[in-house]
Structure formats: structure tokens, C-alpha cells
Amino acid sequence: MKLSAHEIANLVQGEWVGDSQKVVTGVAPFEQATSSDIAFVAQSKYVQEIPSSSAGILLLQKGVAVSGRTAVLVENPQFAFLKILQICAQEKKQVKIGVHATAVVSSDVQIGKNVSIGAYTVIESGTTIGDGTVIGPLCSIGKDVTLGSACQLYAHVTIREEVVLQDRVILHAGCVIGADGFGYLTVNQTHHKIPQVGTVLIEDDVEIGANVTVDRATMGKTVIGRGSKIDNLVQIAHNVQVGAGCIIAAQTGVAGSSKLGVGVTLAGQVGIGDHVIVGDKTIVAAGSGVVDDLPAGSVMFGYLARPIQKEKKIQVLLGKLPALFSEFRKVKKKLQIDESEPKDD
Amino acid sequence: MKLSAHEIANLVQGEWVGDSQKVVTGVAPFEQATSSDIAFVAQSKYVQEIPSSSAGILLLQKGVAVSGRTAVLVENPQFAFLKILQICAQEKKQVKIGVHATAVVSSDVQIGKNVSIGAYTVIESGTTIGDGTVIGPLCSIGKDVTLGSACQLYAHVTIREEVVLQDRVILHAGCVIGADGFGYLTVNQTHHKIPQVGTVLIEDDVEIGANVTVDRATMGKTVIGRGSKIDNLVQIAHNVQVGAGCIIAAQTGVAGSSKLGVGVTLAGQVGIGDHVIVGDKTIVAAGSGVVDDLPAGSVMFGYLARPIQKEKKIQVLLGKLPALFSEFRKVKKKLQIDESEPKDD
Amino acid sequence: MKLSAHEIANLVQGEWVGDSQKVVTGVAPFEQATSSDIAFVAQSKYVQEIPSSSAGILLLQKGVAVSGRTAVLVENPQFAFLKILQICAQEKKQVKIGVHATAVVSSDVQIGKNVSIGAYTVIESGTTIGDGTVIGPLCSIGKDVTLGSACQLYAHVTIREEVVLQDRVILHAGCVIGADGFGYLTVNQTHHKIPQVGTVLIEDDVEIGANVTVDRATMGKTVIGRGSKIDNLVQIAHNVQVGAGCIIAAQTGVAGSSKLGVGVTLAGQVGIGDHVIVGDKTIVAAGSGVVDDLPAGSVMFGYLARPIQKEKKIQVLLGKLPALFSEFRKVKKKLQIDESEPKDD
């Protein structure tokens, strides 16, 4: 990357101030940037710290006054910076179009235009791959899978039979899409496996993190809705329906047949029980456990999860429990009630 | 799949009513089934909803009266449906017997009859593979491993040296069996690795989910008992002993040297501390943390886990804590005790 | 392994007593050892149990008196036993030096001396591999990666572009180093991916467990400090800084930009929120959730985490909550306050 303030201003539809010929070759956080980096200041409250940054070029909000610095002024510095990051990332990503000589691709696989298939990737019969899709090395793609256009699969991805990915889906390394759901019929203490004959549908613009597992449905489909983003090591069980635009942070688990609405946010290490319905735009704080349905717009916290304001109050009061018990003893003494400590029952 | 009511009745040893020549080609949940699907009604309480289902054929309990529908009547509809699912699954699974040309199999590996080894799978020397075992593509199987008969390993499975699988074991994609246990001897703040020279034994009929990790013992064996079923992303630490017939749901972790009895159920995201003994048939609810030994038949819930009825009561009372603190202030006022709120100590 | 008491005494710089020619061929825990095993007794409190062990040779602390047994006496029996385990492990590990014929290694990869690269491993251009590094089969190593000397990568490891490993790093099977961090800019309910153009630095002597994920930084570096040890299925998010000598047990997650000091211990299933600073030598108990900065030397427990002594007290009092509520009703009765149960608010 090598961009001048003038070029950057053009790219992000902003205005430069200072030295229009000033060139940067990298991106960096505000506080770590050197004179060859561009950095951004998201909020006006950080503007006073501008003198402390060594960034060669600053991306600032229109209206911010700087003197003696080279800057590019835009409506939304963070969004403009995203464009710079995209250019930076694009340059690093030089994909070789074509099927690597070592890939084992069944003869009936339909391969679109400008597809890249990495070394030692194995693709079984009946599968279709859309235009511009990039498949990393060492992936395993089962029978009758459908991959849309412009998808990106990193190394070691497993996609089991019949799974469908729509367009622009990103699957990070090691994720497993379409493994059998966890279902048994227990008769006389023997667990009989319930064959999982359903599948998985991953809609447009979904991104799924490293080593995530999304199980196939017992019957029907497990669905990850359009534009949802899933972080590393998440578990999505069979028959789960994730709505559009959800954010699911690392190590969260959603148990069987649960349904997330549109725009739901689950923070890290959340657990959603089975057959739970989570309303649109609900937010669940990290580490929470949800076992009951939640209406749209809920903001929950705790194990078990409660409305966040209630749980925050309870968390404070838990810290005062020792004092409460001790004062309660005094009360009982004054009332000449048995003074012993309350006991477990 | 293409089965008539008559054929289905024969398969599940039931009786057909309605049109014996009615044919179905798929399976579906009761409420989603179309006229070309078979569906089942597990419990009599759902019988009144039969008219709302479009299923072509219904699997019902003997004694249930239906008019104008084609049905097959059996003692246990769910169990009968399992047989239909098995037929359905069987048809999808057409395994090519033989060793794929690209598999790297050490010359001294003993391969049973009707074994399938997928593309790019690597099997090291001294390993034995039982009859009918199916190994997916891109697996890594170390030295001196023993795989029993009729096992199924999906893609990207790693089995380290000396691990033993008995018969009919299923390992889902990405699971790692026999990685080093997590053990260090810390001397002067340096953590010295304790070599993990033990191994892992997976007994008959165990199923292990995607991206699960089962560590090898420091010395001796980590054991997963006969017929136990483990869901995705579970961690089983070194020297753990899982008894027969256990159910371990997703993202649960069992720490070093702990011992689960027979028929233990651990729901999702449970944590079992190290050196804990969990008695037979114990059930631990989702998200719970267990650090003390549990007698047989315990039913536990909470972090830390308590008997479930106790914890449920506590969960209700936690919701009333704010009210309790507020009423306690009134009591103190009435008694003319210091009215301030109890403090953290 | 085949070692006499005399040879063992030499190896661990100890003194033998009993039969110097007594030979053992294996290692075992004290209580499971047979006459062909060596076992150790770590603490003097177990000395009285020596007669119950069948171990052929015992490693004991200097000063312990044994009669009629063959033993080797040393200052630190556990540390001496570590040396025996290392010999035992060494013998099992016979690495073939060289690049396997099936490995796809870009022509410009710089390979040190005595390097081993396993079957079907794929290494992209610009990568450097230090002397004595062993890479298992089926690994994927991206462009411009730096691997130090004497590293060990097991099967199915993914290392993305530009990641740096220093020396003697161990990566267990299935771990993914350098996947994209989880970052989006949400504009009008659409989540725009923030390209993650940073990288990961893994310092000397780090060990990382199976199926762990360590994400690359948005900009700059995610760092795992020298000598830190990470257990299976851990998530380290983008821009996290793990100090030297940390211990992170299984299924723990550290969210974005958090910083662990030196010698921090996180037990299993811990969650560290984003942008949290954890002071040196802090210990966090299993299952805890940390959202606030912690000073050095903290010992924390709970969700949310509190100082461990406080949380232990609270855990006891939680068990007494039902009794407290019931006694509180009596108090109110005596004071003729409304006797109803406190209500949720």
C-alpha cells in the first residue's frame, strides 16, 4: 500500500488538509501509528489527543480543526478507515484462479468462473461451485453440496453432504458445517442414534469463525440467516434457526431447535437452551444462560439470564449478602428470636 | 426412498390402515410434512392435531383411531420412525470400499475387509483397522493405533499414536483424539512440560462430535466408556474416565482425572473440575459447574452446582433480593437500628 | 525404555538403595505401578503408603527411609520423574527428517536443517522454517509465515499468512493461528467486515492445545508471551496480549484487546471480557467471568468474578437464602409488618 493524502481523500470522498503529497504505507491504531501510517479518530472526545499521535495522516471528522498536521476530513472517519483497510487487505490477498493439480474433484462437480480450489482439497460428486468462490487447501466438501458465488473457504473446512451456502459466505479454518445433530432415542439405557437426514442452509453474506460447528437438522434445515456473523468455537445445534443480521460471539452455544430472531446479539460464552425463541434485536450479555423465550428487544444478563438492569442490581446485592446476614443476626437478637445463622435446607 | 404404507408396516412390524399402496418418498416433522412424507406422532396428547398434518402416511400408536388417513400403527411410533430414518440415511450413504489412491498408508498397516480409506488420509506404521471401518478424507492416524470394526471417521479427524478405538465408534469431523494432556511442573516460574506418555481408549458404540478434544493420559489411559455419546466442542482432559452410556452435550469440559459413572448426563457448557467423582445416573443441568464429588442419582444445577430443587428455589429468591434488601431497611427503621444499606465487606 | 536403578540414579543425580540392577521398562502412577514400572512419591505424607505400591523402583525424597524396596533418592522426586518421562517420550518419538514427497512446499520457502514436513502439508510462498522444526501431516501454512527453531506442529494445524512463531513452540492438532478477528462496523443494521490486517506473534516455548483459535489483530499483533501454555479449545481474540508464563486452561475465552500480565493463571471455561487488563500473577478460578481490570496478584472466582474469599462466603450464603427468607417472614410477623414474601421488582 502506498497512498498520498490526496489519493486517500479521493478514495473516501473527503477533503485533505496539510500536505496533499504526504504518503503512507500502512495502517495502525491511533496511539501506535508512525509517520508512515494512516490512523483515524472516531470520536470528537479523542480529538484533544491528536498531538500525541505520530500518524502520518489522520482521518478525522469534518469540522475538526487541526493545525500543522496532514489529515483527511470525512463524515464518518471509522467508515472511511474501513475502506483503507479493505485496500490494504485486498493487496495481501492474491488468489490463484484455477484448480490446484492435487485437488481431488469429482468429475461431475460444476465449477463456475474464476474459481480457486486449493491443494489437497477433496470435493465429492454432485457438488456445484459458484463464480469467484475461493476454496483453501485441505478442505473436504461432501456430495451434492451447493456453494454460491464469491464465497471464501479457508483451510481445513469440512462441509458435509447436501449443505447449501448462498453467496459471499466466509468460512474460517477448521469449521465443520453439517455434522450430525446430537440426537438419540434411549431405550433400556441404550442410546440409539437418530439418523440426521436434514441439512444446513447458510444464507448470503454470513461469516463463520474458526473451528465453529453447525450441525445438520434431524429433518429439514438448520439455517444461518443472511448477513449473520459467527465468531470462533461457536456451536449451533441441529434445527436451529438463526435470523438475519445476528452477531454471535466466541464459544457461544445454541441448543437444538432454538430460534433467534433478526438482529440478535449473543456475546461470548452465552448458552441458549433448546427450543428457545429469542425475539428480534435481543442482546444477551457474555456468559449468560437463557432457557426461556425472550420477547423482541430484550437485554439480558446472568446465569440464568434476567433483564440486565435487574441482574446488575442483584450482582451488587450479592456483594452485600455477608453484611445482610450479619445485620439480620442483630435484628433477631433485638427481637429475641433464635439467634443462630439461617441454615441450609 | 420410496416406500408404501404396506412396505412400511412390514418394516416396522405394524399394521396399516387406509390406503396400503400410498407411497412416501421422504421423512419430515409432523407439522412440516407434505403428502409425500411420512411423519410420526409420539404421544397421544398430539393425536387431536392429526387433522392439521398433511403427512402422506402417519406413524401412530396402536389404539389411536384415525379416519380418512393412511397410517401405520405400532407399539412405539418414535422407535418405528427411527427405522425409517435409518433406511433414509442408509440410502444417502454409499461408501466406496477400498483405499483411495492418494491415501498415504504405511506398508505395515493391517487393513480388515471392506474398509474404506478416503483421499489424502495419512496412516502411520503399526496401525490396525478392523473390518468395515470407514475413514473419511484428510484424516491423520498416528503410529500403533488400533481401530475396531465398523467404525466411522469423518474428514479431518486426528488420532494420535497408540490410541485404541473399539467397534462401531463414530468420530465426527475435526475431532482430536489423544493430544497431549495439559500438565506442567512449575519450577521457579518456568512451566516444564510433563510428557504425556499414556493413551486413550474409546470403547464400543461411542460417538464423538465435531471438533471435540479427548486428551491422552499422562500415564495409563483416558477412557470413554461403551455406548457414551459426546456432542461437539467438548473437552475431555487427561486421565478422565467416562463410564458407559453417558451423554455429554456440547461445549462441556471435564477436567483432569475426573471420573463419570455409568449413565451420567452432562448438559451443554457444563464444567466438571479435576479429580471429581460423579456417581452413576447423575444429571447436571446446562451451564453448571461441579467441583465436589456427587453421589449416584444426583440431579444438579447451578454455578456452583447444587441439588436442582434447591438451586431453582435460590434462582427465584435471587429475583426477590432487591425487595428483601428494601424491606430489611424498613425492619431496621422500625427497630431503630442503623438504617444504612448493608455494605460490601 | 529399559533402565536399572543404577542407571536411573545416574540420570537424575540421585542415590539408589536396594537392588541397583533392578530394571524397569515403564512408568506409572504410584497406585497403579507394577514391578516393571518406576513410580514417584511426591510428598512425605504419602510415604506411609509405600508398602501398598507394587512399583519396581520408587523415586523418593532424600531422607525417606525404605527397607526391602529398591528406590532412588533425590531432592525433588517429581522433577526427577519428569526426566524419566522425557526419556520415555523421546523413545516414542522417532521423527523422519526431510520433506515428505507429497508435501506442497512453495519453491521459495526457506527450510532450516533437520526439518521434518509431513505428508500433504501445504506451505505457501515466502515462509521460513527454523532448524529442527517438525511439521505434522495435513498442515496448512500460509504466505510469509515465520516458524522458529525446534517447533512442533501436529496434524491439521492452520497458520495463516504472516504469523510469527519463535522457537520451541508446540501447536497441537487442529489449532488455527491467525484467523480473522471478529470485527464489524454496523451501519443501518448491516455488519460490514473490518479487514483484519494485523498478525499474531507466538513467543518462545509457548504450547497451544488442540482446536485452539488465536485470531490475528485488526492492526498490529495478537501476542502470546514467552513460555505461556494454552489448553484445548481456548479462544484468544484479536489484539489480545498474553504475558509471559501464563497458564490458560481449556475452553477459556479472552475477548478482544484484553491484556494478561506475566504469570496469570486462568482455569477452565473462564471468560475475560474485552479491553480488560489482568495484573501479573492473577489467578481466576474455573467458570469465572471477568469484566473489570484486575490488580496484580488478584485471586478471583465467580460469575461475575469477585475476590475468592468473598465469593466463597457468598456461595455459602446463597445456600442459606431460603432459610433467610423464611426467617425474615417471622421477623416481619413479630413486627407486624406486611407478612407477604418480598416480590420481584
Q: Break chain C into its structural domains and give their ranges.
A: 3-92, 98-308
B184 - beta bridge partners? B193
What does the pLDDT read at residue A345? Answer: 58
| C-alpha–C-alpha distance, residues C169 and C244, integer Å | 13
C-alpha cell at A73: 476530513
Contacts of A248 in chain C (CB under 8 A): none
Q: What is the pTM of this model?
A: 0.96
> Does B327 sit within 8 Å of C245, measured CB to CB?
no
The confidence score (pLDDT) of residue A182 equals 98
Q: Is A232 an 8 Å CB contact of chain B?
A: no
Q: In the prediction, which pLDDT does B27 show?
A: 93
The total of other beta-carbon atoms located within 10 Å of residue C1's CB is 17
Supply the pLDDT for residue A339.
61
* The three three-digit cell numbers of residue B97, written as one number: 470400499
**Pairing outcome for strands B213-215 and B235-236:** parallel
Which chain B residue has the Cα nearest residue A233?
B233
Domain A98-308 coded CATH 2.160.10.10: yes
Which ranges in chain C belong to alpha helices (H)? 5-11, 77-92, 308-319, 321-334
> Which of A158, A191, A215 is closest, CB to CB, to B245?
A191
Residue B165, C-beta contacts closer than 8 angstroms, at least 6 positions apart: B145, B146, B147, B148, B151, B159, B171, B177, B202
How far is Cα B119 from Cα B117, in angstroms, rounded to an integer? 7
Q: B133-137, C43-47, C160-164 — which is least confidently predicted? A: C43-47
CA distance B326 to B320: 10
- C104, A88: Cβ pair inside 8 Å? no
**Interface mutation vs chain B, best among C204, C235, C321, most B CBs within 10 Å:** C321
The set of cell numbers assigned to B114 is 471392506
Assess contact for C129 and C110: CB atoms under 8 A.
Answer: yes
Query: Helix C308-319 vs helix C321-334: angle between axes, to the nearest 10 degrees?
Result: 60
**Model pLDDT, residue B345:** 58
Tell me the percentage of chain C whose pLDDT exceeds 70.
Answer: 98
The CB-side HSE value for A251 (13 A sphere, CA atoms) comes to: 38
Are A145 and A161 spatial neighbours (Cβ–Cβ below 8 Å)? yes
From the list C220, C289, C328, the residue facing A287 with the nearest CB is C289
pLDDT tens for each residue of C101-157: 999 999 999 999 999 999 999 999 999 999 999 999 999 999 999 999 999 999 999
A129 has which bridge partners?
Answer: A111, A147
Q: A47: burial class by Cβ within 10 Å (0-12, 13-18, 19+)? A: middle
Task: Give the SS3 label for residue C147.
Answer: strand
Average pLDDT on C258-270 reads 98
Distance CA A175, CA B172 (A): 12
Taking the CA atoms of A173, A174, A175 and A178 in sequence, report the sign of the dihedral they define. positive
* A182–B89 CB contact, under 8 Å: no
DSSP 3-state of B50: helix
Pairs from B51-54 (Cβ < 8 Å, separation ≥ 24):
none
The strand pair at C184-187 and C190-193 is best described as antiparallel
Contact yes or no for C187/C169 (Cβ under 8 A): no
pLDDT tens for residues A152-172? 999 999 999 999 999 999 999
Task: Clarify whether B238 is annotated catalytic.
Answer: yes
Please tell me if residue C245 touches chain B, with a CB cutoff of 8 Å: yes
CA distance C266 to C233: 14
List, as ranges, residues 97-156 from B with C-beta within 8 Å of C.
104, 120, 122, 138, 140, 156
pLDDT for res C150: 97
Is C184 an 8 Å CB contact of chain A?
Answer: yes
Under DSSP, is residue C316 helix (H, G, I), strand (E, B) or coil? helix
How near does any CA of chain C get to the CA of A187, in Å? 33
A209 close to C (CB below 8 A): yes
Q: What is the pLDDT of residue B338?
A: 72
CATH 3.40.1390.10 fits A3-92, yes or no: yes
Q: Mind listing the pLDDT tens digit for each residue in C176-200? A: 999 999 999 999 999 999 999 999 9
Which stretch of DSSP H or E encloses residue A319?
helix A308-319
Q: Provide the ipTM.
A: 0.96
Mean residue pLDDT across chain B: 95
What mean pLDDT is predicted for residues B281-309?
Answer: 98
Mutation site for C-interface testing, chosen from B182, B190, B311 by largest number of C Cβ within 10 Å: B182
As given in the structure block, the three cell numbers for residue C336 are 407486624
Check if C307 contacts A (Cβ < 8 Å): no
Looking only at Cα atoms, what is the longest distance across chain A? 89
pLDDT of residue B94 exceeding 80, the answer is no
* Chain C residue closest in CA terms to A119: C122
With a cut of 90, say whether residue A189 has pLDDT above it.
yes
CB C246 within 8 A of CB C212: no
Phi/psi class of residue A277: alpha, beta or left (left: φ > 0; alpha: ψ in -120 to 50)?
beta
